[in-house]
């Protein structure tokens, strides 16, 4: 994310957005890199944005930023499978890499030129080749590098969680980059956003469901055993593998029991 700034520095901008979920913090952190849910959970916002855009736009119209931001959330399963997952020791993870929901945004005039002036063409291509969806620093923070936002997770109680959303300005980049990042954070992360309520409803129902005695276990076995370990020691898997959940709970168990300390 820092390398995406032509001057190699970031600064916090746009204030902070805060909202409270009446659910356990683990639901939010698990959901960040759950690539099985977007195309179903977010149809109410994403697919609606596509339909409205087709209805109102002429063929030659520039796609509005809001539509670019919303549309990828209801991509096909194959898209999210291809994004892939990477899981690391201590519960950390990221989704995406070469492609993500952020990799097809339109160019901001002057931005590529500013990066090439600072880093050269080859390094600029390398920077743009990395397009992660969410990078999770388990258990309490998540960063979106391509859109320059960060969320901090603060548990308040077993059934209450505060989420803070921060936006960064890329020093040396056109001001339009900052405007798009703030728009993204407002549309996706604010208390009046159009994507989060879909997830929030799921968290609330899960919180209520786990208070019942209907079942002893929650299955996290999807594609278990298909994962691979790359040369850097990261566990890699297809996008809809449950490896991120298993990895997080493995770390949480170790923290809670001092296992291996």
Q: What is the mean pLDDT of residues 234-250?
A: 96
Q: Could you tell me the CATH number of the domain that includes residue 119?
A: 3.90.380.10
Across the chain, what does the average pLDDT equal?
A: 93
54-63, 175-184, 248-257: range with lowest mean pLDDT? 54-63
- What is the band of 93 on the pLDDT scale with cuts at 50, 70, 90? very high
pLDDT at 222 over 60: yes
pLDDT at 223 over 80: yes
Q: What is the mean pLDDT of residues 148-170?
A: 97
Q: What percent of the chain has pLDDT over 70?
A: 99
pLDDT at 17 over 60: yes
260 is a domain residue: no
Residue 233 pLDDT: 87
39 is a domain residue: yes
Digit-coded pLDDT (tens) for 95-116: 999 999 999 899 999 999 999 9
155 is a domain residue: yes
Q: What is the mean pLDDT of residues 206-216?
A: 88
21 is a domain residue: yes
Digit-coded pLDDT (tens) for 132-145: 999 999 999 999 99
261 is a domain residue: no
Domain count, the chain: 1
Q: What is the mean pLDDT of residues 80-97?
A: 96
Q: What is the mean pLDDT of residues 92-96?
A: 97
Residue 50 pLDDT: 85
Dump the DSSP string for the chain.
Answer: -GGGSTTS-EEEEEEEEEEEESS-HHHHHHHHT-TTSHHHHTIIIIIHHHHHHHHH--TTSPPPHHHHHHGGGG--HHHHHHH-EEE-GGG-EEEEES--TTTTPPPPTTHHHHHHHHH-HHHHHHHHT-EEEEEEETTTEEEEGGGTEEEEEEEEETTEEEEEEEEEEETTS-HHHHHHHHHHHHHHHSTT-SSHHHHHHHHHHHHHHTTSSS-S-----TTTT--EE-TTS-EEE-TT-SHHHHHHHHHHHHHHHTTT-
142 is a domain residue: yes
- What is the band of 258 on the pLDDT scale with cuts at 50, 70, 90? confident
Q: What percent of the chain has pLDDT over 90?
A: 77
Which domain, by its residues, includes 51?
2-211+221-255
117 is a domain residue: yes
25 is a domain residue: yes
């Amino acid at each position: 994310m820092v390398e995406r700034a032509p001057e190699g520095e970031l600064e916090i901008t746009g204030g902070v957005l805060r909202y409270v979920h009446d659910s356990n913090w683990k639901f939010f952190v698990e959901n960040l890199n759950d690539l099985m849910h977007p195309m179903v959970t977010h149809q109410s916002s994403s697919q609606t944005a596509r339909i409205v855009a087709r209805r109102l736009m002429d063929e030659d119209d520039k796609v509005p930023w809001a539509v670019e931001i919303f549309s990828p959330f209801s991509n096909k399963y194959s898209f999210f499978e291809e994004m892939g997952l990477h899981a690391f020791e201590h519960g950390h993870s990221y989704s995406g890499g070469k492609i993500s929901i952020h990799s097809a945004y339109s160019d901001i005039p002057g931005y590529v030129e500013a990066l090439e002036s600072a880093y050269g063409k080859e390094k600029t291509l390398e920077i743009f080749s990395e397009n992660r969806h969410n990078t999770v620093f388990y258990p309490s923070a998540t960063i979106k590098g391509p859109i320059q936002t960060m969320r901090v997770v603060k548990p308040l109680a077993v059934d209450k969680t505060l989420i803070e959303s921060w936006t960064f300005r890329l020093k040396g980049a056109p001001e339009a980059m900052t405007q798009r990042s703030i728009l993204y954070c407002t549309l996706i992360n604010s208390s009046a956003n159009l994507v989060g309520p879909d997830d929030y409803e799921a968290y609330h129902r899960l919180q209520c469901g786990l208070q019942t005695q209907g079942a002893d276990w929650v299955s996290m076995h999807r594609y278990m055993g298909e994962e691979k370990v790359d040369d850097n020691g990261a566990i890699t898997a297809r996008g809809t593998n449950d490896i991120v959940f298993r990895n997080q709970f493995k770390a949480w168990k170790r923290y809670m029991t001092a296992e291996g300390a």
